[in-house]
Structure 1
Amino acid sequence: MEQTTNIFGLRAIIEAIQSGSTINKIYLQKGLRGNLFFELESLIKKERIATSFVPVEKLDRLSKNKNHQGAVAQISPVEFNDLEQLIESTLEQETTPLFLLLDQVSDVRNFGAIIRSAECTGVHGIIIQQSGSAPVNAETIKTSAGAAFKVPICRVNHIKDAIYTLQASDISIVAATEKTDNLLFDLDLNKPLAIVMGSEHKGVNPSVLKIVDERAKLPLLGEIDSLNVSVACGAFLYEVIRQRL
């Protein structure tokens, strides 16, 4: 299994960004200054790369005490797809499109489990947001049982932009949310479709709920009022498959 690669050093990270490498996250030492730092900071803002300012001890661990110059970057082991190209190629296929949008699912184990379910149910692509989403790293790939190399993943600046793009191609958007009276089993899912799953703590963002085509929930018969997001996602995906088979 390919592992996430860490690169370190200000100049090395700048060159990685400029060469188009897919970077999950950059860790910077608190209080860092200097010309190279400001050049890197400008690139980070331009490319909207997730960043954390951390103590030097964390950078020492990430770089195994190499000369990191106060900066370590995690390179993604998978390449992200262009959303518009993926939609176009999917529409050319004979199967009914099925996409998955993750609205800031942040736990890597949940993310990996969702990718695995998506691969097993023939999802054509997973769309995540640049900020607030779990990274595609070694743990994600391990949890996905390698499915992260098989399912196209797109990373966008904002989930809402992806929804508008999908809707422009006549793909219906269904949000998984308890804020509805509609049960999933009552919806017609045998059409071009994208399912939105929300974050572990907040669910689907209210601003996202306003622009989806339909909302749906799963029946909960116990005392706990919500399911784990990866479990709920699997239930949603298999109801789509049940209706389409």
Structure 2
Amino acid sequence: MRWFFYFAYICTMETKTSKIFGLRSVIEAINSGETISKVFLQKDLTGAISNELNGLIAQHNISRSYVPIEKLNKLSKNNNHQGVVAEISPIEFADLDAIISTSVEKDKAPLFLLLDGVSDVRNFGAIIRTAECAGVDAIVISKHGSAPVNADAIKTSAGAAFKIPICKVDHIKDALFQFQAAEIQTVAATEKTDNLIYTIDLKIPTAIIMGSEERGVNPSVLKMVNAKAKLPLLGEIESLNVSVACGAFLYEATRQRL
């Protein structure tokens, strides 16, 4: 029965519409309080209605990208998109302040995961699944440059995205300030250190930061963290897939805490 549930769930997610298109449709969705992950706008789009939409996007601090019309045609399956396609998040994002306050009151030391620019949807989904299995209290992503929480991410997470709080912040630095103010140590995964993850005390309240697939953790973020750590690489390949590396980091925390 359990396997049947997951099969039915995945099929449902594949057919569920998670995009809306058309200028007025997207404006109404924002005004009605829909959780918009990202808005894709046609380059050089002009007019009073597009200006109204851009104003709403700025007002609600929604992530946006300017793309060629071919991209919009693909996203909307050649429907009349009028130069705009929006992705609706299937989840409600959690408030980071509230999550931190609740987590520090628990008996166990909280464990958080920050994703600094992870943009591949399937990597994101795999990370969500691993984080939920490892008992992470919440995942933090930035509003800009992060993979959307869409049907592909939900499917890859095997439904874990509905079971773990996901918080959006304007910038990862904002979350770092909040964690450090709450005396939660911040540990960045980076090759720019001699410290292995196994030498870091992860039994205390901790937030682990994983970087993007291409550049890793942003240098400005690295300057702020309490500690840096890496995994040993014994072969000829110089790096691991971010979702694999994230799993190794999280389960080292789990091993220390058991």
CA distance in structure 2 between the partners assigned to 1:13 and 1:131 by the alignment? 19
Q: Tell me the residue number matched to 1:125.
A: 138
Change (3 A) 1:123 1:41: same
Shift of 1:57: 4.2
2:253 corresponds to 1:244: no
Contact 1:4–1:137 (CA under 8 A) maintained in structure 2: no
2:67 corresponds to 1:41: no
Shift of 1:172: 0.5
CA distance in structure 2 between the partners assigned to 1:27 and 1:75 by the alignment? 12
SS in 2 for 1:148: helix
2:232 corresponds to 1:229: no
1:106-129 CA deviation, whole Å, 9 max, x = no partner? 111111111011010000000001
1:220-241 CA deviation, whole Å, 9 max, x = no partner? 1111111111111100111101
The code of the aligned residue for 1:216 comes to A
CA distance in structure 2 between the partners assigned to 1:65 and 1:215 by the alignment? 46
**Where does 1:180-195 land on structure 2 (aligned, <5 Å)?**
180-195=193-208
TM-score by length of 1: 0.95
Identity %: 65
Q: Tell me the residue number matched to 1:29.
A: 42
Shift of 1:97: 0.1
The code of the aligned residue for 1:166 comes to F
CA distance in structure 2 between the partners assigned to 1:91 and 1:174 by the alignment? 18
2:13 corresponds to 1:7: no
CA distance in structure 2 between the partners assigned to 1:114 and 1:58 by the alignment? 27
Segments of structure 1 that go 5 or more residues without pairing to the other structure are: none
Q: Tell me the residue number matched to 2:160.
A: 147
Contact 1:99–1:195 (CA under 8 A) maintained in structure 2: yes
**Where does 1:159-178 land on structure 2 (aligned, <5 Å)?**
159-178=172-191
CA distance in structure 1 between the partners assigned to 2:19 and 2:53 by the alignment? 16
The code of the aligned residue for 1:157 comes to D
Q: Tell me the residue number matched to 2:76.
A: 63
Query: Which 10-residue stretch deviates more, 116-125 or 45-54?
Result: 45-54
CA distance in structure 2 between the partners assigned to 1:161 and 1:188 by the alignment? 24
Change (3 A) 1:102 1:15: same
CA distance in structure 2 between the partners assigned to 1:32 and 1:233 by the alignment? 39
Query: Which 10-residue stretch deviates more, 12-21 or 78-87?
Result: 12-21
CA distance in structure 2 between the partners assigned to 1:25 and 1:196 by the alignment? 23
CA distance in structure 2 between the partners assigned to 1:211 and 1:56 by the alignment? 40
CA distance in structure 2 between the partners assigned to 1:240 and 1:128 by the alignment? 20
Query: Which 10-residue stretch deviates more, 94-103 or 44-53?
Result: 44-53
CA distance in structure 1 between the partners assigned to 2:183 and 2:43 by the alignment? 47
The code of the aligned residue for 2:100 comes to I
Shift of 1:65: 4.0
Match of 1:54 among 52, 56, 67: 67
Query: Which 10-residue stretch deviates more, 15-24 or 99-108?
Result: 15-24
CA distance in structure 2 between the partners assigned to 1:86 and 1:174 by the alignment? 19
> How many residue pairs get matched?
245
CA distance in structure 1 between the partners assigned to 2:81 and 2:257 by the alignment? 52
TM-score by length of 2: 0.90
Contact 2:18–2:151 (CA under 8 A) maintained in structure 1: no
